[in-house]
Each structure stands twice: as structure tokens, then as C-alpha cells.
Amino acid sequence: MAKQHGLIAKFDTPADIMHAAEKVRDAGFKNWDVITPFPIHGMDPAMGIKRSLVGRFTICGGTIGITTGMLMIWFTGGSDLSVPLMEGYKLIVGGKPYFSPQFAFPVSYELTILFSAFASIGGMFILNKLPQHYHPLLKYKDVAASSDDKFFLYIENEDPQFDEEKTRAFLGELGAVEIGELEE
């Protein structure tokens, strides 16, 4: 048999998995997750998951976006600045000043949105440790049921508190209908 990755427990109802998650959270496990066929409201607090940090990436992206837009338009139309490969060229368009935040705003605003979106997607990938093309869970015999009508909870070997016998007994106490092993 291949190396063991963790223990997986099967539950029949959303309520069972929710209570189980609360107990696993309170027991202080770190490397564990819950697999359900649909989002269960209240699962985040039940698992002790804090609010996502994606917003931090978004605000950085947005700030860089608006700065880029303003600087780009000022550089191309309102400055004589010379940098490698590029040169600013003062240009009057439509009788307006060389540079004015008014006309730079639509472009800066679009770049704010674009960079925010990029940063959000990038941040989501980083925080979720993506891309991850394979997960031991996919080898589990019953994995298809997790997208149908069964609810799963697994605890990884890597968890500091993990102990083959104790954890198996603990999962049994949670009301799991079946306990299996995940292979690496």
C-alpha cells in the first residue's frame, strides 16, 4: 500500500458534518478540510476559517492601477521626461492642458479595475496554493459521492496532533458512518 496521506470520514447530512467540523475545530486540528456537494451556510465559522485575505491583494492592485494610469498619461502627454526606450512628448489635445487629472481619470479608473481584478485572481491562486493539479482525495474510492449526496471530512497525517489510532477513534465519535484512508 502507498503512503498514507490522512484519514477521511463520511457523513450523511449537512447537520452531521457541521457539528463534526465544530468539534474538529475545537480539538485544535490544523491540516484538515471538509468536502461537500454544495456550499453550507455557516460552515466557515464552524471550521474556524477567518475572512479571506484576497481583499488585501485587491486594494494593492487597485492602488497600483490608478497610479499607473495617472503616471502613464502624465508621462506620455505632459512631460519631457526621458527614460530608456521611451520619451515623454508634450502634446496639446483638444485645447486642454498638457496634463489634467480630469481626462486621465477614465483611463486610471479602468486600470484600477483591471489591476484589482488581476490582483484578486492572483491573490486567490496564491492563498489557495493553486495551481494544484492533483490531490490525494481524488484517489479515494467514494470521491464521486462528494459531488452527490455525501459529506466528507479528512484530517492529514501532517497535522501536528495526528495520531493514527486516536484520530480514527475521534472521527468515530463524531458520528461518521464510514472511516477510510487517503493515499498519497
Partner 1 sequence: MSADFTPNPKKWLTLGIAGLAVSVIGFFVEPQIAAWSYLIGLIFITSIAIGMLFLVMIHHIFDAQWSVIVRRQAEHYMAALPYMGILFIPLFLLTYLGGNEGILWLWMDQGASLHGHGTVGTDVLYQKKTWWLTEWFFWTRAVLCFSIWIYFGSKFRKNSFSQDEDGSPKHTFSSRKHAAIGLIAVALSWTAAAFDWIMGLEYHWFSTMFGVWMFASAMRAALAVMLLTIAFLVAKGPLKGILNTKHLHDVATLAFAFTVFWAYITFSQYFLIWNANIPEETFWFNDREQGIWWPISMILIFGYFLFPFLYMLQFPLKTNFKSMTFMAIWLLSMNLLDVFFNVLPSLKDHHGEPFQMFSSVTNIIWYLSAVVGAGGILLWAYWSSYQKTKIIPIRDPRIQECLNHNH
Residue ranges binding partner 1 (CB under 8 A)? 41-42, 51, 55, 59, 94-96, 102-103, 105-106
| Closer to partner 1 by Cβ: residue 6 or 69 | 69
What is the residue-wise DSSP string for 35-68? E-SS--TTHHHHHTPPPPSHHHHHHHHHHHHHHH
Least separation in angstroms between CB 174 and partner 1: 23
Are β-strands 86-87 and 151-156 bridged in parallel, bridged antiparallel, or unpaired?
unpaired
| Closer to partner 1 by Cβ: residue 59 or 127 | 59
| Closer to partner 1 by Cβ: residue 6 or 65 | 65
Burial of 12 per CB tally in 10 Å (0-12, 13-18, 19+): middle
| Closer to partner 1 by Cβ: residue 54 or 137 | 54
Residues 98 and 90 sit within 8 Å (Cβ to Cβ):
yes
Residues 6 and 127 sit within 8 Å (Cβ to Cβ):
no
| Closer to partner 1 by Cβ: residue 102 or 132 | 102
Residues 151 and 11 sit within 8 Å (Cβ to Cβ):
yes
Angle at 148 between CA 45 and CA 29, to 5 degrees: 35
Least separation in angstroms between CB 96 and partner 1: 8
Least separation in angstroms between CB 60 and partner 1: 13
Least separation in angstroms between CB 103 and partner 1: 7
d(CA 173, CA 168): 9
Least separation in angstroms between CB 25 and partner 1: 18
Run of H or E residues at 147? none
